[in-house]
Structure 1
């Protein structure tokens, strides 16, 4: 299953993705997100948290979304790749 990077303060999202069978890694710096299919960050600007991701990688901004909605978006991204 795909590897998904999740900012460490989003534990509900981590649990949702693990229940769907994804390999979840906590991201706290730019090296943590390497080799991930996509990354989920808590705010609109990932750089504020000290996280930058490669230009090709999909980023999901968790602000205003439920864990289930984020899980659906991850499913869409993974099936497109």
Structure 2
């Protein structure tokens, strides 16, 4: 079964690379998307400046800021359950 990965909409290069590797990629839009995914990829642009740590998923959250699409794919392969 393909792993479902939620990816922020602006990360088109990551989305393409993950699809090429056989992942089911969905846009990261709602908390419901997080609940059904093996991992999620964010840009890191909306970092937690208020220090709030509400957790909506137990899936790994990968910050793509400064990483290539291949590096993000490797992170998912190592961390996604």
TM-score by length of 1: 0.80
RMSD across aligned positions (CA): 2.1
The answer to whether the aligner puts 1:66 opposite 2:71 as a matched pair is no
What is the TM-score when the length of structure 2 is the normalising length? 0.80
Q: Does 1:25 align with 2:30?
A: no
Post-superposition offset of 1:74: 0.6
Q: Which runs of 5+ in 1 are unaligned?
A: none
> How far 1:57 sits from its partner (Å)?
1.9
- The answer to whether the Cα contact below 8 Å between 2:5 and 2:40 also exists between their aligned partners in 1 is yes
Runs of 4+ in structure 1 over 3 Å off: none
The count of residues paired between Structure 1 and Structure 2 equals 75
